[in-house]
Amino acid sequence: MPRTSEKQSKLEQAFQAALESESTVPFDKSSKDEFEQGVAELLPKLFQESFEETVADLSGLQFNHYQVIEQIGSGGMGHVYTAHRNDGQFDKIVAIKVLLQHCNNPQIKKRFLQEKQILAQLRHPNIVPLLDAGKSKQGQEWFVLEFIKGFRFAMPFTLLILKALFIET
């Protein structure tokens, strides 16, 4: 098993390649457990600086049928919150990912929209499904995912890309 610094270096390279790449590479599923453990241990540390953006408290804010409860995650493109569907049709707690409020970077916005589109087309038991999406009155892009209690890391597309790039065939 590689040392932590070797794992960290591989994850950094994979993430950088994922940011620069428009496609993914097939991966060997036999290395899946080692990869996922490495991601769980190292990714939050690697990107801590990008998570330090000042976050406006969106608690109580409404996105279509969903009222924000609390922030549960942060990343390079946006923030993830729990939210409650409150239109009276049914009760459901969901995860809502919101594009960074002051995102003027067209590449980040493009990746956020790509993530949304890809999630809309994916059906797999290990990928949380996309439930809804839209744009706030202020023009802020968002999408709603199934909320899995206890799983606070919510960057499914990024993980999919990292898996494809990190685990060699």
Domains and their CATH numbers in the chain: 4-50+159-166 (no CATH), 54-152 (3.30.200.20)
CA distance 12 to 3: 14
pLDDT tier for residue 135 given thresholds of 50, 70 and 90 = very high
Which single residue is written with the structure tokens 């949380």? Answer: 128
Query: What letters, b where the CB count within 10 A reaches 16 and e where it falls short, cover 45-59?
Result: eebeeeeeeeeeebe
- pTM score, two decimals? 0.58
Interval 80-129: pLDDT, tens:
999 999 998 989 999 999 998 767 788 888 889 999 999 999 888 888 89
Angle ∠(107,110,111) on CA atoms, nearest 5: 90
More confident residue, 54 or 73: 73
